[in-house]
Structure 1
Amino acid sequence: MAAEPTEPGAHYVMKSEEEVSRLSNQHEIIKDAMGGLILANIDLSTRPLRVLDSATADGTWIRDFASGYALVQHEIHGADIDPTNFPANPPAGTIYRVQDIKKSWPEDWKGTFDLVHQRLALVGAGPAQKEAVLNLAALVKPNGWIQLMEAENVFVDDQGPAMYDFVRLMKDMFIIMGAKIDLTRQIPGWLEEAGFTDIQDRLIDMKIGATNPNPRLAKQGVYSTAISATALSRFGKSLPPEKISLSQEKLDTLVTDLRTELFERGAVYPMRVVWARKKV
């Protein structure tokens, strides 16, 4: 989900076609690392359910989800702040709407979804991340499930210098936008506060470049990360030098250095999936 043009971090917004391509490539790598799309213990194969994919972008997750459960036609809703990339002719049973995760969802949606999914979007809520999670939680019906994924934003062992700089710059963006860097540690408590139980989480390693044993996914990881680094560099250059951790020289070479490093030695980018069930 992109930031609004009037917010801090507006220069981090990517061109539409770049963002769609990045998300599509990233989606496959994340799915491979997770071993699927859904970790929540929900039966999706026997009856139609009402499902929401928040921060859906062009609906890549929705299309993959629908194809994986083709024998049951679920009612699937996709929501995003930017409708530019919504499919022109979505398949039957799939509905898209414009929605800012920082704002209230439709009143008649509350307590109606069997599954609410959102991935890598909460930085867009800035200091209102908790409110964004609680608003999503309110959409889940009793005994329904929520699944959220966010980056760990931590430095890992044996991380190359370019990837280290990339993570440093990502942390700078979180701070400037007022987002919590330790977000993944906060989410379970917020869900418990919202009336959820069976709260579980799993750390997954998104393997980028040479660390990924699948040659196709290895290339896709380099491609999608380079697009993110390009946008991050633009974001960094738009700010006063004292606001960011990297020098102008490092900002100028970050994308090239990162691409080379990822092809040669690769990297691991940790993410955490949190899922929970709404109490009856």
Structure 2
Amino acid sequence: MADISEDKLSEKNVEDVGSRYFLPRNVEEAERMQNQHEWLKGGADGLVLAPIDLNRSKMRVLDAATADGYWMQDAKSIFPKDTEFVGFDNAPEGYPPLNSSPPLQIVKQNLVEEFPAAWKNSFDFVHQRFVIPLFKTEEVPLVLRNLIGCMKPGGWIQLVEMDFQTPVSKPIESCPAVQAVHKLTSTVVSDPLASTKLAGRLTDEGLVKVGYKAIEMVAGSSHPDPELGERGKRNMLSVLGFFQSVAKPEMIGMTEEEWKSLPQRFAEEMKNHHVALRVYFVWGQKAAAQ
């Protein structure tokens, strides 16, 4: 893999990082992400799939792109009580604070800028989800190296990302709105298949015991758990709305009328068919010091 250091990113690249996060930062978005969190946790049957020992004492956990810190608040229930959690986001002030005791530790930090020196080799577990596809291919190694640099020798990282392109809904020929949504999201993100490349990237970066699990997240009436199916439906329609706000119908060959009716048609397909998307949980361990 090519060596891409931070100084090879132009100042404009760094300034543009904020613009790639097209989703809003407000109470409504925090609520959407919390709903998405519960849907994902239910579909994956847990928050941490990496084979880390969750019984060790005095661990440190870093949550990248944490938003309001909801993942950290929930993850506290599965880690030992003496675990220290640190979260960062490039604009944490945009989200309403969660009620937690003690308050969540969330700092302002950008994924492509230099990380605090105190974080180097400092965390037993690093977690990040739903960010990598927004970065350009040439930026991803820097993002991963920043995160890997925070891991202690023997520590673990877990990355969670959607496959925006591969259709897993059934029967796909009966889901033209689903196909249109795939086309739309693939057009807006930088790399719609970034999730499928993460295991290879972690291996290239020298991590060991790299593994992954691909999970089909069902949205709508075909979910065996009606509550989770409804959560998925709400999340998918909300995300579609945001994608439509930054795109135009001609980008995917739609008329204005087709564009306006897309949410309604998408909802109907989630009601009548098996609509799902694939999410990858990818993990790896930093080799222990010799």
TM-score (normalizing by structure 2): 0.85
CA change 1:51–1:7 in 2 (3 A) is closer
Residue in structure 2 matching 1:279, options 275, 279, 287: 287
Query: How far apart, CA to CA, are the structure 2 residues paired with 1:34 and 1:272?
Result: 10
Equivalent residue, structure 2, for 1:201: 212
TM-superposed deviation, 1:25? 1.1
Q: How many residues align?
A: 269
Unaligned runs of 5+ in 1: none
Q: Does 1:167 align with 2:193?
A: no
Q: Deviations over 1:195-229 (max 9, x none)?
A: 21000011101111112111111111111111101
Question: Contact 2:196 / 2:280 at 8 angstroms: preserved in 1?
Answer: no
1:229 to 234, 240, 248: 240
Q: Deviations over 1:146-186 (max 9, x none)?
A: 00011112122423221111111000012xxxx22321232
Could you give the per-residue CA deviations for residues 224-278 of structure 1, whole angstroms, max 9, x where no partner exists?
11110101111113x8x3x444443332122222122213324111111110110
Pairing 1:39-78 to 2, within 5 Å after superposition: 39-69=49-79, 71-78=80-87
Question: Which residue in 1 is equivalent to 2:268?
Answer: 260
Q: Distance in 2 between matches of 1:76 and 1:188?
A: 25
1:250 counterpart residue number: 258
Which runs of structure 1 show a deviation greater than 2 angstroms over 4 or more consecutive aligned residues? 4-15, 86-94, 123-127, 179-182, 243-251, 263-266
The structure 1 residue matched to 2:124, chosen from 101, 114, 128, is 114
Pair 1:184–1:170, CA change in 2 (3 A): same
In the alignment, the residues of structure 1 paired with residue 145 and residue 21 of structure 2 have an alpha-carbon distance, to the nearest angstrom, of 28
Partner of residue 158, structure 1: 171
Superposition CA RMSD, Å? 2.4
1:8–1:27 CA distance, 2 compared to 1 (3 A): closer
Q: Does 1:183 align with 2:194?
A: yes
Secondary structure, counterpart of 2:77 in structure 1: helix
Match among 35, 45, 62 for residue 45 of structure 2: 35
How far the C-alpha of 1:66 sits from its partner, in A, is 0.6
Q: 1:41 to 1:8 in 2, by over 3 A?
A: closer
- Which of 77, 90, 94 pairs up with 1:81? 90
Please identify, of 140-149 and 94-103, the stretch whose mean Cα deviation from structure 2 is larger: 94-103
Inter-CA distance 94–259: structure 2 relative to 1 (3 Å threshold): same
Change over 3 Å in CA distance of 1:125–1:139 after alignment to 2:
same
Distance change >3 Å, CA 56–CA 8, structure 1 → 2 = closer
Give the secondary structure class of the aligned counterpart of 2:31: helix
Of 132-141 and 6-15, more deviation after overlay is shown by: 6-15
| Unaligned 5+ runs, structure 2 | 1-13
- Distance (Å, rounded) in 2 between the aligned partners of 1:164 and 1:117: 30
Moved more, 51-60 or 86-95: 86-95
Local SS of the residue matching 1:181? coil
Q: 1:18 to 1:263 in 2, by over 3 A?
A: farther
Distance across 1 between alignment mates of 2:103 and 2:22? 33
CA distance in 2, matches of 1:45, 1:90: 22
Give the direction of change, closer, same or farther, for the CA distance of 1:250–1:9 in structure 2 (3 Å limit): farther
The residue that corresponds to 2:156 in the other structure is: 145
